[in-house]
């Protein structure tokens, strides 16, 4: 019988790419998610019955254990960018990660891959997001010392919530406000992260931490300028002064609190603002793609493949521009 991998959060942005690659490897894939009926898009990644969504809440012992029963490998892709309801940083990124590792060890599972984040930092000065990512890594290694831990920088790809989000904003406003425009990022393609995870699942990566960054390091503001060039829009990229950025984050945090969590802050939280205070690039001497035998993709060729929908005339924008030029020459 084919080997089985359980991917917690396997229908999400990164998880779906790992699921697709593991199906191509001939493995059976169990996609553990809170709402299996909303994860049916993963089923066509393999032949009928090869990729199956199953119900799981990583805050619950029984469902975590059941989801990995009989698996040869597990992957944890679950994380949150903002605390909302019971999904706090601690409950998801520390306790949830620890729970998966604990049961993986208890069930004698051979391989575990844990997707963390670049900038994971347990120090008190770090953001709550960064602290819990670091504590989650520590918990995973405590229960499963041979785990492969991946720390990607900001991830881009068709379903990303980074370039898609700001491109959507640029479509509606002549000004594109951002916070901490000088902060450096090393964007990494989502399928490259999936390729790294597959190495871990197949036992082709040594245990430990890998920092994953793409081939380019650019400031937040420079990335926004590149995105604007791709979507053919001229906008003023405005890096908000520190106090203005804090007031914006505070206002949206208060809106979420006052609404009793009915309105989720998807714009900017104070914790995200704190995270933006540190560069998000691979550390000198850290293990990374080169150690996995992977050459990461550049932004340039990939961004147009999914950001075209934000152009003034969508997929026909270049054709429309050419027609205008021909009319002007006539």
Helical axes 190-201 vs 13-24, angle rounded to 10°: 50
DSSP 254-297: HHHHHTTTSS---S--HHHHHHTTS-B-PPTT---HHHHT--PP
> How would you classify the pairing of strands 218-219 and 155-156?
unpaired
Q: How many CB atoms lie within 10 A of CB 47?
A: 10
> What SS3 state is found at 82?
coil
Q: Which residue has the higher pLDDT, 126 or 325?
A: 126
How far is it, in rounded angstroms, from Cα 181 to Cα 241? 10
pLDDT digit string, tens, across residues 230-274: 999 999 999 999 999 999 999 999 999 999 888 999 999 999 999
pLDDT digit string, tens, across residues 34-73: 999 999 999 999 999 999 999 999 999 999 999 999 999 9
How far is it, in rounded angstroms, from Cα 195 to Cα 148? 13
> Can you give the residue ranges of every domain in the chain?
4-157+186-216+280-296
Model confidence at 13, pLDDT cuts 50, 70, 90, reads very high
Strand partners for 32: 8, 54
For 168, list phi and psi in degrees, rounded to 5. -65, -40
pLDDT digit string, tens, across residues 275-314: 999 999 999 999 999 999 999 999 999 999 999 999 998 8
Taking a C-beta distance cutoff of 8 angstroms, is the pair 32, 6 a contact? yes
> How would you classify the pairing of strands 28-33 and 51-55?
parallel
Q: Which helix (H) or strand (E) holds 7?
A: strand 4-8
Model confidence at 7, pLDDT cuts 50, 70, 90, reads very high
**pTM for this predicted structure:** 0.94
Q: What is the chain's length?
A: 330
End-to-end CA distance of the chain: 68
How far is it, in rounded angstroms, from Cα 130 to Cα 118? 9
Look up the CATH superfamily of 4-157+186-216+280-296: NAD(P)-binding Rossmann-like Domain (3.40.50.720)
> Which ranges constitute the DSSP H helices of the chain?
13-24, 61-67, 89, 97-106, 128-143, 163-172, 190-201, 220-230, 242-258, 270-275, 289-292, 303-307, 317-329
Q: Considering only CA atoms, give the Rg of the chain.
A: 21
> How would you classify the pairing of strands 51-55 and 175-179?
unpaired
Q: What angle do CA 192, 292, 202 make, to 5 degrees?
A: 85
DSSP 152-189: E-SEESTT-SSHHHHHHHHHH-SEEEEE-TT-EE--EE
pLDDT tops 60 at residue 329: no
Q: To which residue do tokens 């309105």 refer?
A: 263
- Return the pLDDT at 4: 98
Taking a C-beta distance cutoff of 8 angstroms, is the pair 168, 310 a contact? yes
């Amino acid at each position: 019988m084919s080997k089985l991998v359980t991917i917690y959060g396997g229908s999400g942005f990164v998880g779906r790419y790992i699921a697709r690659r593991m199906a191509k490897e001939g493995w059976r894939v169990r996609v553990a998610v809170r709402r299996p009926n909303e994860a049916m898009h993963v089923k066509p990644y393999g032949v009928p019955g090869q990729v199956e969504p199953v119900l799981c809440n990583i805050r619950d012992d029984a469902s975590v254990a059941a989801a990995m029963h009989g698996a040869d490998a597990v992957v944890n892709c679950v994380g949150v960018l903002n605390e909302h309801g019971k999904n706090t940083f601690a409950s998801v990124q520390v306790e949830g990660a620890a729970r998966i590792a604990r049961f993986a060890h208890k069930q004698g599972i051979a391989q575990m891959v844990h997707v963390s984040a670049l900038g994971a930092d347990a120090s008190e000065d770090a953001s709550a997001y960064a602290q819990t990512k670091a504590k989650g890594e520590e918990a995973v290694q405590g229960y499963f010392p041979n785990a492969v831990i991946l720390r990607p920088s900001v991830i881009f790809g068709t379903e990303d919530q980074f370039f898609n989000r700001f491109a959507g904003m640029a479509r509606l406003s002549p000004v594109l406000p951002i916070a901490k425009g000088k902060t450096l990022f090393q964007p990494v393609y989502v399928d490259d992260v999936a390729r790294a995870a597959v190495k871990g699942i197949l036992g082709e990566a040594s245990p430990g931490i890998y920092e994953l960054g793409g081939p380019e390091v650019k400031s937040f503001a420079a990335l926004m300028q590149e995105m604007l060039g791709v979507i053919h829009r001229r906008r003023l990229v405005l890096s908000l002064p520190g106090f203005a950025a804090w007031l914006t984050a505070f206002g949206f945090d208060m809106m979420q609190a006052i609404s009793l969590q009915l309105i989720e802050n998807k714009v900017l939280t104070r914790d995200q603002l704190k995270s933006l205070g540190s560069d998000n690039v691979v550390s000198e001497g850290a293990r990374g793609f080169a150690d996995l035998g992977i050459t990461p993709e550049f932004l340039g060729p990939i961004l147009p493949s999914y950001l075209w929908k934000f152009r003034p005339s969508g997929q026909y924008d270049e054709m429309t521009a050419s027609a205008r030029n021909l009319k002007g020459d006539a």
